[in-house]
Chains A and B, each alone.
Chain A
Amino acid sequence: NAGVTQTPKFRVLKTGQSMTLLCAQDMNHEYMYWYRQDPGMGLRLIHYSVGEGTTAKGEVPDGYNVSRLKKQNFLLGLESAAPSQTSVYFCASSYSPSLNTEAFFGQGTRLTVV
């Protein structure tokens, strides 16, 4: 039972490069989220999705785009990476339609932009 899987686990980018982070879940969850974790800042929501084909902005969406073409996958894109996007990125998913279900997290992607 894989749960939530993030790819890749580590990446180093040069400023201006682009990349896509992949999140896959095998629990048939409707809700999926992308967070970034920075020291002293906790987890901040970048974008989220309440179902296939739908996405919405979270707290810190600038510089990121997302897509949810398939229910099990949620992609996070950086079109032109900046050093401020150096962070640990976590994907999470939770069941719908109840709002009181806990979220399950992936292992994280450590991204460094130089």
Chain B
Amino acid sequence: AQSVAQPEDQVNVAEGNPLTVKCTYSVSGNPYLFWYVQYPNRGLQFLLKYITGDNLVKGSYGFEAEFNKSQTSFHLKKPSALVSDSALYFCAVRDDSGAGSYQLTFGKGTKLSVIP
């Protein structure tokens, strides 16, 4: 079975500082990994994904994520945080093998607060 862990319920960072939101995963086959952002009272918006190839993936709004196969991690990063980045962030995984390959499994989410 596939699973995702986001070890931090909340991350606080000062505006202008770099930010990291952590994600680790577990799959049987190869992972397809995604990051989504949710603003208050809104649906989830896609940020970026890793499918194959370059381990550093660039996405929307200046975010990027680094895929590390040996550590089974896919951490979200941004060089300089903005107050407007404050939101709930979800990591998600899809396994390319088995019956679970159609399912997109989400972590519990990490609340990011960027302090002015």
Contacts and interface: CB of A to CB of B under 8 A. Distances in A.
Interface of A: 4, 31, 33, 35, 40-45, 48, 50, 56, 58, 90, 92, 94, 99-100, 102-108
B49 interface: yes
Interface of B: 6, 9, 32, 34, 36, 41-46, 49, 51, 90, 94, 96, 101-109
Classify the interface of chain A: helix, strand, loop or mixed: strand
Given A105-B43, A106-B43, 10 more contacts: A4-B43, A41-B108, A42-B90, A42-B109, A56-B102, A92-B104, A100-B49, A105-B44, A108-B41, A108-B43
B101 A90 contact: no
B47 to A, nearest CB: 9
Contacts of B46: 102-104
B105 A45 contact: yes
Nearest to A31: B102
Contact of A99 (B6, B42, B94, B107): B94
Name the 3 nearest CB pairs between A and B, nearest first: A42-B108, A105-B43, A43-B106
B45 A105 contact: yes
A107 B42 contact: yes
Nearest to A94: B104
B3 to A, nearest CB: 11
B7 to A, nearest CB: 13
Contacts of A31: 102
Contacts of A4: 43
A103 B43 CA distance: 11
B43 A90 contact: yes
Contacts of A40: 9, 108
Nearest to B4: A42
A53 to B, nearest CB: 15
17 contacts: A35-B106, A40-B9, A40-B108, A42-B107, A42-B108, A43-B44, A45-B103, A48-B102, A56-B102, A58-B103, A99-B101, A103-B34, A105-B36, A105-B45, A106-B43, A107-B42, A108-B41
A103 B106 CA distance: 12
